[in-house]
């Protein structure tokens, strides 16, 4: 295995930092559009106004692609997230362009790191977090391509990505290094790619679920006569309808869960070759199992009377909490065979 | 059944119904997730017995309590087994009626059209110039093969089409759950019939082993393997001819490889293979893994009675990063005369001299290695309990001295004892694993994924068309087509889907019409072209 190209690794780091900076400006733009955009007022007067229905329809189709007949876009004529040409609209467009630019720089950082280590660049926590963040941003951009109306929600997706990248670049950072023997396998590319795509998508689902809970709370407060909406609940005014967010979050899980299942199976196949058994309750494996079971609970909860809606939403968030725990705590605190954090 | 008997069975039936309800299954699933948590946070005896013991030692009563409830072997504990067994039963009870229902649904024709299609969640209507029979053909073609379609006549020349699709949703769901059940069974069978043996092999001739229980350093059989119900594969590893460990400049490992000669059967020809970390040697149902490595220093020892011994001892790494290793040489002299020689040693592959005279290692790479030894004479105390070959029991011995030796150096102690450090050879620890069910388990896992894709990806839809000839029935006057649709799952984007379907059905009405009018204009050429 070749050594490390130091100048390339350095270039990768610079691109990474640049991407964070661009995302941050983009996020400020999205937040500005969200706050000053007109759409909020429409939604506030007619809870669950038209655009919501479309927002639900499109992600589902795109993410699941059940092999149904090719579907053309239904009647458009949906109001855009901000009035065309308004200041908020222009800020939103600007933020969108910045996010695309940031994603390109980010992708460049990952690619250059790959050249530097001469392998797929996701063998430690820093690299994994960087790739998962990129997947999250690309997923959102793809979603926005199909449904421009959700553009003003961009800040909600960029915020966790930026936080994660900041942690990755500071606390979790590790120098570019060649792969240890256990990681020298094509399963690294398959297993870790699947995990990062599935978990990146599940993060999006968690964001949608939080928005669902806020919106649902907003609706409940609004039902009471003479109620005033304030604080965090006030955000609900500009969000799509609760049912829409709930369905969108579900469709993302319906897409991610089989992917995550395949990822775990690939991990088991790899473990059989590398460690002598397909499953050994290594802490990482145990938490992969826990995450899988929790999302299985979520899918069942959505089909069980008394569990739909809020309870299922909390199950979804518990699942994402388990993912976060598996990524941060199990890597850093608990020692096991999956100790590739690169933080020593 | 008589009434009292039925009454007696009632609590049982209630319990069964409750166990197989979705709510119970959901709670059991939750419990399964929660129960797995301590298995990752507390040391587990099967994975790490040393860590478990030190945790017990430092946690007193709390540790003993945890031990008693099986918290140090969660995945082998009674309560963990209870949860997944209940889940297993609940799943079986839930699946049997669902399979019956689904089989019936698949066998049944799509339901007749409701009287008023306009009352369905999605509906619409349009007109066509075609007579009902022609349009019914066109509509069936437009919908395509994904839909199961039944045509039914109604009075007055009206035709209805009942279309249904997405049966593979429930099929996929059932396949997934059946595959989960199959996986649990296969895992259980695998555990009963599996075995795992490990053995340290020093590089060089006469150090090999055959796949028999007695030749392993450690042997973990499943229950049936322990009872001798399966015979271990008949292969032999004759020799590890060469072990290679490569490191980067910073001391990170980059490659481990063991070259071995082996025979598939005791009497078959010898073959060569290279075993690396991700590439075990697969011999029928057995897999041979390279799981560790270390150093075996070689000494020439002159005993108190003047005889000379050559010995090689396996040293065990104490530090995974620097491979500072520890081990012992035990040379028995004439019995009962305190003529035994025991040597406790530390091997530093890349040594660094500490200020206190002790050696340290700074890298796992071998670079002018040093062996630090403590030499004892006396009684090795072999009459007592079985001893570890890696540690010296010096309780009945006296120390002759201590020295650090580089390769080729020797040192003479008192009583005529001298030791020379001749060199070292690498050793590798090999693990043999056998699990007859894992191939089938992979098939079950693949079935789980396929089932999931059907279950989560396919959408269940019903569609009805009522094709009514115009009231006047005059030739050329329009036929009215009413369409209604119903989503039986994932209704999220059904409105969009229905709009698309309506487009297609409407297009079919005009396309077919164009075709027909063309046919009327040029009947001869079309027949000539062999259209009919």
Q: Write the DSSP assignment of B420-460 as a string of letters.
A: EEEEEEEEEEEEEEE-TTHHHHHHHHHHHHHHHHHHHH---
Q: How many CB atoms lie within 10 A of CB B94?
A: 16
A341 — pLDDT class (breaks 50, 70, 90)? low
**Parallel/antiparallel/unpaired status of strands B195-202 and B218-221:** antiparallel
Determine the pLDDT at residue A80: 42
Cβ distance B25 to A300 less than 8 Å, yes or no, reads yes
Compute the C-alpha angle A140/A254/A329, nearest 5°: 75
Per-residue CA distances from B13 to A289, B1, B10, B83, B160 (Å): 33, 14, 5, 20, 44
Decide if B101 is inside a domain.
Answer: yes
Instruction: Compute the average pLDDT of residues A230-239.
Output: 75
Instruction: Compute the average pLDDT of residues B422-434.
Output: 94
Alpha-carbon Rg for chain B, nearest whole angstrom, is 39
Determine the Cα–Cα distance for residues A183 and B277; give it in Å rounded to an integer: 9
Cβ distance A185 to B500 less than 8 Å, yes or no, reads no
Q: Are residues B278 and B160 in the same domain?
A: no
**Structure tokens given for A56:** 């639900």
Determine the Cα–Cα distance for residues B177 and B183; give it in Å rounded to an integer: 10
The residue among A253, A260, A272, A284 with the most chain B CBs within 10 A of its CB, best to mutate, is A272
Determine the Cα–Cα distance for residues A284 and A330; give it in Å rounded to an integer: 7
| Span A190-205, pLDDT tens digits | 898 899 889 888 988 8
Cβ distance B442 to A269 less than 8 Å, yes or no, reads yes
Contacts of B144 in chain A (CB under 8 A): 69
Q: Are residues B436 and B355 in the same domain?
A: no
Select from B460, B498, B502 the least CA-distant residue to A53.
B498
A147 — pLDDT class (breaks 50, 70, 90)? low
What mean pLDDT, rounded, does chain A reach? 78
Do the Cβ atoms of B365 and B247 come closer than 8 Å? yes
3-state helix, strand, coil split of chain A in percent (to 5) is 75, 0, 25
Domain boundary among B446, B478, B506: B446
Do the Cβ atoms of B392 and B343 come closer than 8 Å? yes
Determine the pLDDT at residue A322: 95
Do the Cβ atoms of B328 and B345 come closer than 8 Å? yes
Select from A163, A128, A121 the least CA-distant residue to A20.
A163
The one-character DSSP state at B113 is: P
**Structure tokens given for A188:** 């690294």
Q: Are residues B89 and B60 in the same domain?
A: yes
Determine the pLDDT at residue B345: 93
Per-residue CA distances from A69 to B139, B165, B501, B512 (Å): 15, 12, 10, 20
Contacts of A65 in chain B (CB under 8 A): 457
Determine the Cα–Cα distance for residues B449 and B454; give it in Å rounded to an integer: 9
Q: Are residues B327 and B232 in the same domain?
A: no
Q: Are residues B362 and B416 in the same domain?
A: yes
Cβ distance B495 to A68 less than 8 Å, yes or no, reads no
Determine the pLDDT at residue A72: 34
Domains: count for chain B: 4
Contacts of A303 in chain B (CB under 8 A): 22
Cβ distance A268 to B26 less than 8 Å, yes or no, reads no
Cβ distance A64 to B457 less than 8 Å, yes or no, reads yes
Contacts of B435 in chain A (CB under 8 A): 277-278
Determine the Cα–Cα distance for residues B1 and B12; give it in Å rounded to an integer: 15
Look at residue B20 and tell me whether its pLDDT is greater than 50: yes
Determine the pLDDT at residue A59: 39
- More confident position, B384 or B438: B438
Cβ distance B452 to A269 less than 8 Å, yes or no, reads no
Cβ distance A278 to B438 less than 8 Å, yes or no, reads yes
Determine the pLDDT at residue A32: 86
Nearest CA in chain A to B500: A71
Select from B511, B520, B514 the least CA-distant residue to B139.
B511
**Structural element, H or E, at residue B398:** strand B397-406
Interface confidence, given as ipTM, is 0.85
Contacts of B457 in chain A (CB under 8 A): 64-67, 254, 258
Cβ distance B457 to A254 less than 8 Å, yes or no, reads yes
**Structure tokens given for A182:** 């256990």
Nearest CA in chain B to A58: B493
The residue among A74, A188, A244, A305 with the most chain B CBs within 10 A of its CB, best to mutate, is A74
Instruction: Please state the domain extents for chain A.
Output: 6-52+84-332
Look at residue A3 and tell me whether its pLDDT is greater than 80: no
Look at residue B281 and tell me whether its pLDDT is greater than 90: yes
Do the Cβ atoms of B312 and B434 come closer than 8 Å? no
Phi/psi region, residue A185 (left: phi>0; alpha: psi -120 to 50; beta: rest), is: beta
Do the Cβ atoms of B119 and B482 come closer than 8 Å? no
Nearest CA in chain B to A284: B40
- More confident position, A40 or B275: B275
Print the domain residue range for B58: 13-105
Q: Are residues B313 and B390 in the same domain?
A: yes
Alpha-carbon Rg for chain A, nearest whole angstrom, is 21
A51 — pLDDT class (breaks 50, 70, 90)? very low
Look at residue B49 and tell me whether its pLDDT is greater than 90: no
Pick the range with the lowest mean pLDDT from B118-122, B396-400, B493-497: B493-497
- More confident position, B467 or A71: B467
Beta-carbon contacts of residue A143 (< 8 Å; ≥ 6 apart)? A58, A59, A62, A150, A204
Contacts of B253 in chain A (CB under 8 A): 180-181
Nearest CA in chain B to A1: B254
Contacts of B289 in chain A (CB under 8 A): 275-276
Determine the Cα–Cα distance for residues B288 and A227; give it in Å rounded to an integer: 70
Domain boundary among B446, B472, B487: B446
Look at residue B21 and tell me whether its pLDDT is greater than 90: no
Determine the pLDDT at residue A40: 43
A299 in contact with B, Cβ within 8 Å: yes
Decide if B182 is inside a domain.
Answer: no
A244 — pLDDT class (breaks 50, 70, 90)? confident
Q: Are residues B494 and B415 in the same domain?
A: no
| Span B140-152, pLDDT tens digits | 999 988 899 999 9
A66 — pLDDT class (breaks 50, 70, 90)? very low
Q: Are residues B375 and B424 in the same domain?
A: yes
The one-character DSSP state at A190 is: I
> Is residue B357 classed as helix, strand or coil in its secondary structure?
coil
Determine the Cα–Cα distance for residues A25 and A27; give it in Å rounded to an integer: 5
Beta-carbon contacts of residue A169 (< 8 Å; ≥ 6 apart)? A13, A16, A17, A20, A126
| Span B340-362, pLDDT tens digits | 999 999 999 999 877 677 788 88
Do the Cβ atoms of B377 and B338 come closer than 8 Å? yes
Decide if B454 is inside a domain.
Answer: no
Select from B503, B468, B479, B472 the least CA-distant residue to B128.
B479
Determine the Cα–Cα distance for residues B443 and A265; give it in Å rounded to an integer: 11
Output the pTM of the full model.
Answer: 0.83
Interface of A with B in 88-117 (CB under 8 A): none
Percent of chain B with pLDDT over 70: 93
Do the Cβ atoms of A284 and A268 come closer than 8 Å? no
Q: Are residues B320 and B354 in the same domain?
A: yes
- More confident position, A284 or B2: A284
Decide if B60 is inside a domain.
Answer: yes
Decide if B94 is inside a domain.
Answer: yes
Contacts of A273 in chain B (CB under 8 A): 278-280
Q: What number of C-beta contacts closer than 8 Å exist between A and B? A: 162
Q: How many CB atoms lie within 10 A of CB B178?
A: 18
CA distance B514 to chain A (A): 23
Q: Are residues B374 and B495 in the same domain?
A: no
Do the Cβ atoms of B327 and B347 come closer than 8 Å? yes
Determine the pLDDT at residue A299: 93
Cβ distance A297 to B29 less than 8 Å, yes or no, reads yes
The one-character DSSP state at A188 is: I
Determine the Cα–Cα distance for residues B440 and B169; give it in Å rounded to an integer: 24
């Amino acid at each position: 295995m070749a050594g490390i190209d130091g100048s390339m690794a350095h270039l990768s780091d610079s691109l990474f930092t640049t991407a964070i900076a661009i995302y941050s400006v983009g996020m400020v733009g999205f937040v500005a559009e969200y706050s000053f955009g007109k759409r909020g007022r429409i939604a506030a007067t007619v809870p669950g106004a038209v655009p919501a229905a479309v927002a639900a329809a499109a992600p589902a189709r795109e993410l699941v692609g059940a092999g149904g007949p090719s579907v053309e876009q239904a009647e458009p004529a949906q109001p855009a997230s901000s009035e065309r040409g308004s200041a908020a609209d222009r800020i939103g467009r600007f933020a969108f362009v910045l996010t695309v630019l940031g994603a390109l720089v980010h992708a460049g950082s990952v690619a250059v790191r790959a050249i530097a280590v001469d392998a797929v660049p996701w063998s430690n926590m820093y690299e994994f977090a960087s790739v998962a963040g990129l997947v999250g941003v690309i997923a959102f951009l793809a979603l926005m391509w199909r449904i421009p109306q959700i553009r003003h929600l961009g800040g909600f997706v960029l915020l966790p990505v930026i936080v994660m990248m900041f942690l990755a670049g500071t606390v979790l950072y590790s120098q570019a290094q060649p792969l240890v023997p256990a990681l020298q396998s094509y399963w690294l590319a398959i297993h870790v790619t699947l995990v990062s795509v599935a978990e990146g998508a599940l993060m999006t689902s968690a964001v949608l679920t939080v928005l669902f809970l806020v919106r649902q709370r907003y609706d409940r407060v609004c039902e009471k006569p003479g109620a005033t909406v304030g604080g965090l609940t006030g955000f609900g005014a500009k969000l799509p309808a609760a049912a829409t967010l709930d369905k969108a979050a579900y469709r993302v899980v319906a897409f991610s869960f089989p992917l995550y299942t395949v990822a775990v199976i690939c991990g088991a196949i790899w473990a059989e070759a590398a460690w002598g058994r397909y499953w050994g309750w290594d802490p990482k494996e145990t938490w992969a199992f826990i995450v899988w079971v929790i999302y299985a609970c979520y899918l069942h909860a959505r089909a069980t009377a008394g569990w739909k809606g809020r309870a299922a939403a909390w199950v979804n968030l518990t699942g994402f909490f388990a993912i976060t725990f598996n990524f941060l705590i199990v890597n850093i605190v608990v020692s096991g065979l999956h100790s590739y954090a690169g933080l020593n | 059944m008589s009434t009292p008997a039925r009454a007696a069975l009632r609590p049982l039936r209630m319990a069964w119904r409750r166990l197989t309800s979705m709510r119970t299954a959901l709670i059991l699933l939750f419990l399964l997730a929660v129960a797995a948590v301590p298995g990752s946070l507390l040391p587990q005896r099967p994975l790490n017995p040393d860590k478990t013991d030190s945790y017990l030692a430092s946690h007193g009563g709390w540790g003993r309590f945890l031990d008693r409830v099986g918290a140090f072997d969660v995945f082998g504990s009674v309560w963990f087994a209870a949860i997944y067994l209940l889940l297993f039963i609940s799943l079986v009870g839930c699946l049997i009626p669902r399979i019956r229902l689904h089989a019936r649904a698949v066998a049944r024709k799509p339901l007749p059209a409701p009287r008023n299609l306009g009352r369905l969640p999605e509906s619409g209507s349009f007109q066509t110039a075609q007579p009902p029979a022609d349009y019914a053909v066109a509509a069936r073609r437009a919908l395509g093969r994904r839909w199961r379609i039944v045509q039914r006549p109604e009075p007055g020349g009206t035709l209805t089409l009942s279309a249904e699709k997405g049966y593979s949703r429930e099929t996929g769901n059932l396949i997934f759950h059946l595959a989960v059940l199959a996986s649990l069974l296969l895992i259980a069978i695998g555990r009963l019939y599996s075995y795992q043996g490990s053995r340290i092999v020093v590089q060089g001739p006469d150090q090999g082993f055959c796949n028999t229980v007695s030749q392993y350093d450690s042997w973990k059989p499943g229950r049936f393997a322990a009872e001798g119900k399966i015979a271990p594969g008949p292969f032999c590893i004759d020799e590890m001819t060469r072990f290679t460990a490569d490191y980067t400049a910073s001391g990170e490992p980059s490659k481990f490889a063991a070259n071995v000669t082996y025979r598939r059967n005791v009497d078959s020809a010898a073959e060569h293979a290279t075993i690396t970390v991700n590439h075990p040697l697969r011999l029928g149902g057995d897999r041979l893994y390279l799981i560790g490595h270390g150093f075996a220093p070689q000494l020439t020892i002159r005993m108190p009675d003047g005889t000379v011994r050559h010995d090689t001892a396996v040293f065990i790494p104490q530090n995974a990063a620097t491979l500072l290793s520890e081990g012992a040489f035990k040379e028995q002299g004439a019995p009962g005369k305190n003529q035994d020689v025991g040597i406790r040693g530390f091997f530093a592959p890349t040594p660094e001299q500490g200020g206190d005279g002790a050696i340290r290692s700074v890298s796992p790479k071998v670079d002018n290695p040093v062996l630090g030894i403590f030499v004892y004479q006396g009684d090795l105390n072999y009459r007592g309990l079985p001893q570890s070959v890696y540690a010296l029991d010096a309780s009945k011995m006296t120390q002759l001295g201590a020295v650090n030796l580089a390769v080729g150096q020797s040192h003479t102690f008192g009583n005529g004892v001298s030791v020379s450090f001749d060199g070292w050879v690498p050793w590798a620890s090999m693990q043999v694993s056998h699990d007859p069910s894992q191939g089938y388990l992979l098939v079950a896992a693949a079935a789980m994924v396929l089932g999931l894709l059907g279950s989560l990806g396919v959408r269940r839809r019903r569609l009805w068309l009522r094709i009514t000839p115009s009231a006047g029935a005059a030739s050329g006057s329009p036929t009215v087509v009413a369409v209604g649709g119903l989503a039986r799952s994932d209704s999220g984007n059904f409105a969009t889907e229905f709009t698309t379907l309506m487009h297609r059905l409407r297009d079919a009405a005009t396309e077919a019409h164009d075709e027909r009018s063309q046919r009327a204009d040029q009947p001869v050429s079309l027949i000539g072209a062999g259209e009919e």
